[in-house]
Structure 1
Amino acid sequence: MRKPTKEIQLTSYDELLGINESESSAQGKVVEVPLDELHSFKNHPFQVNDDEEMDDLVESIRQHGVLNPGIVRPRPEGGYEIISGHRRKRGSELAGLSTLPVLIQEYSDDEAVIIMVNANIQRENILPSEKAFAYKMKMEALRHQGMKDSKGEDTAELVGKKAGDSGRKVQRYIRLTELLPELLERVDQKKLNFISAVSLSYLTKEEQEWVVQCITEKRVSISGKAAEELKKYSAEKKLTRLAVELALCKEKKESRKLSFSEERVNRYFPAEYSKEQMEEVICRLLEEWSKNEIPSK
């Protein structure tokens, strides 16, 4: 492992990261470290995308350099693990730089997690999935430390304090980590609302698979009412693939507000058919029609 070479002045932002000033000055200095010696934090929950925001960061780095140094810790196998600075590293790569200014510190796993989350959680445009896994990691780290603040707030309250979220909101975000990736992606894409997603997180993985298949094949959306109904049936061990399909298909059918005269309905259905059976048949026909599987006449 090569030694860092060039020392530069630290721009103070310790308060944001929760680092004690005397502790930081005693433990390390800001130095330039080669980019190929910097490695991502294990299970880093925040995405680093080559998007418009990255383009802005690259342009800023080209004009002014990296204004705030990253924070890293030494790795037993060599090099350094990035605690804060993943986007700055990528921006430096795209700007053609070979090093990144960093503060090298010795942190335990739990300390590193807390600082990593605190450094990122107040960023704009954080995805629900990012916040969910970040809160989960910070929750586990704080529990390992047995931490409570001076006001006696519980761990969930402490986790959300930096971002201004209540303990209850934190718990709901953490529930999202129980979703299948396909459902969590829909939350990020705003195709599935937050409250509905939290309800679906209580379904088993197999039950969630049924939901994914239904919304993909039937092209239905999930309302809070439907998600809560699925959660209820799951808790009662009564949820089946058919029940998922009926609940979501019913939502779509009702949203269309279709109505048929009794005379017209009786023309196409046997007399022994119940209202529920007729509704189910109509629902299935509408789904097939919407996929152009049957001609419209």
Structure 2
Amino acid sequence: MKSSAKKIELASVDDLFSTEEGRQDAKLEKIQEIPLSELHPFKNHPFKVKDDEAMMETADSIKQYGVLVPAIARPDPEGGYELVAGHRRHRASELAEKETMPVIVRDLDDDAATIIMVDSNLQRESLLPSERAFAYKMKLDAMKRQAGRPSKENVSQVGTQKRSDQLLAEQVGQSRNQIQRYIRLTELIPELMDMVDEKKIALNPAYELSFLKKEEQVDLLDAMDSEQATPSLSQAQRLKKYSQEGHLTLDMMRVIMGEEKKSDLDRVTFTSDTLRKYFPKSYTPQRMQETIIKLLEQWQRKRQRDQER
């Protein structure tokens, strides 16, 4: 005969003698001092952590005042913690020869962690195009997974809801089209992406080049090197067109890259070393430019007077 009595759960000793205030306090996030060696970088972290001048200034500040804003991390199943926000502070703490840093530990799933990681870095004043491109892609993918994706176009289940890329655009202050153009840059091979970061290739040509097949992008590097030139927007658009038509070859790339650009034909360039010998040492580049313009204007007026005689 089965007992009709309900299963009774006994409270633990800690529960019996703890107050409600104490139980609520235990649920609050705590700032912990965690050894730097136990903090691992976020997987596929798109933001570059460089030992540049700004990093050295941060390290000096940490050496003097410590880390003022705690990092955010989540438990790593393989041991230690995965940094979500605070990669630069972590590196600066290493340079400052600190052993620990303050960290808030949160239980976050992959998508929530990705969004926090991206948001905490997008606030930086200067971001490389590659950083922005991969960050937008990672966050948009995470937002889509969180919201669900009922169709290939990610159309909302409810008509009043917005697309994930529109929400992202509003959050970062960019147009939806610009978001997609940045994300497209992630299709570039690393060597071309580095050239975009170094401002050797402008963003608009880079967007067109991202439609080239990977092997075509490798050949383009060869053509650019042999002709010592980088593609203009019109050249990049033609390369894309020939690629889509299946006619793009290395020889064609070399011909296109060997073209003399209109901007090169219209430009006259003087180095500062060439001009310096004609001016006093105290002249700044700006003053030299102003003086040259005045002299050219005087020459032009004299030429007009001579023609009128």
Query: TM exceeds 0.5?
Result: yes
3-state secondary structure, aligned to 1:250:
coil
| Separation in structure 2 between the aligned mates of residue 170 and residue 254 of structure 1, nearest angstrom | 29
Match of 1:55 in 2: 56
Q: For 2:83, give the aligned amino acid.
A: I
CA distance in 1, matches of 2:203, 2:263: 22
Deviation at 1:151, TM superposition (A): 6.6
Q: Distance in 1 between matches of 2:58 and 2:160?
A: 39
Q: For 2:206, which of 197, 205, 217 is the aligned residue? A: 197
Task: Establish whether residue 145 from structure 1 lines up as the match of residue 154 from structure 2.
Answer: no
Q: Distance in 1 between matches of 2:124 and 2:166?
A: 19
Larger Rg: 2
Structure 2 letter corresponding to 1:206: E
Q: TM-score, normalised by structure 2?
A: 0.71
Unaligned 5+ residue runs, structure 2?
1-25, 149-155, 267-309
Distance 1:161 1:144 in 2: 18
In 1, Cα distance between equivalents of 2:159 and 2:87: 32
Q: Does 1:133 align with 2:134?
A: yes
Equivalent position of 1:35 in the other structure: 36
Where 1:50 maps in the other structure, the secondary structure is coil
Aligned to 1:103: 104
CA shift for structure 1 position 207: 1.2
Change beyond 3 A, Cα 1:243–1:27: farther
Query: Any conservation in 1 of the 2:226–2:254 contact (CA below 8 Å)?
Result: no
Distance between the aligned counterparts of 2:104 and 2:235, measured in 1? 50
Residues 42-100 of structure 1 show CA distances to partners (whole Å, capped at 9, x for unaligned) of 01000111000101111111222111100000011110000000000111111111111
- For residue 213 of structure 1, the aligned residue among 213, 222, 229 is 222
Deviates more, 1:248-257 or 1:46-55: 248-257
Q: Which aligned pairs between 1:242-281 and structure 2 lie closer than 5 A? A: 242-252=251-261, 255-256=264-265
1:68 — aligned with what? 69
Partners of 1:151 and 1:32 lie apart in 2 by 45
Query: SS state of the match for residue 231, structure 2?
Result: coil
CA distance in 2, matches of 1:68, 1:253: 52
Amino acid across the alignment from 1:221: T
Q: Matched residues in 2 for 1:76 and 1:145: separation?
A: 22
Find the counterpart in structure 2 of residue 264 from structure 1. Answer: none
Q: Following the alignment from structure 1 to structure 2, what is the Cα–Cα distance between the partners of residues 216 and 52?
A: 31
Query: Distance in 2 between the 1:67 and 1:96 partners?
Result: 16
Q: Which moved more, 1:100-109 or 1:203-212?
A: 203-212
1:81 and 2:82 matched: yes
Change (3 A) 1:176 1:68: same
Verify: 1:181 aligned to 2:190, yes or no: yes
Query: Percent of aligned positions with the same letter in both sequences?
Result: 47
The CA RMSD measured in Å over matched residues stands at 2.2
**Structure-2 change in CA distance of 1:137 and 1:156 (3 Å):** same
CA contact (8 A) 1:135 1:174 kept: yes
Q: Which amino acid aligns with 1:189?
A: E
Partners of 1:112 and 1:196 lie apart in 2 by 33
Aligned mates of 1:97, 1:38 — CA distance in 2? 13
Q: What one-letter code is carried by the residue in structure 1 that aligns with 2:104?
A: L
Shift of 1:252: 4.5
Corresponding residue for residue 178 of structure 2: 169
Give the deviation of 1:244 after TM superposition. Answer: 1.2
- Partners of 1:121 and 1:162 within 8 A in 2: no
Q: Which runs of 5+ in 1 are unaligned?
A: 1-24, 258-297
Q: Secondary structure at the match of 1:31?
A: strand
- CA apart distance, 1:27: 5.3
Matched letter for residue 49 of structure 1: K
Q: Which amino acid aligns with 2:195?
A: R
Aligned residues: 234
* Residue-by-residue CA offset, 1:3-30 (whole Å, 9 max, x unaligned): xxxxxxxxxxxxxxxxxxxxxx945211
Deviation at 1:102, TM superposition (A): 0.7
| 8 A contact 2:58–2:92 mirrored in 1 | yes
Q: Which moved more, 1:247-256 or 1:63-72?
A: 247-256
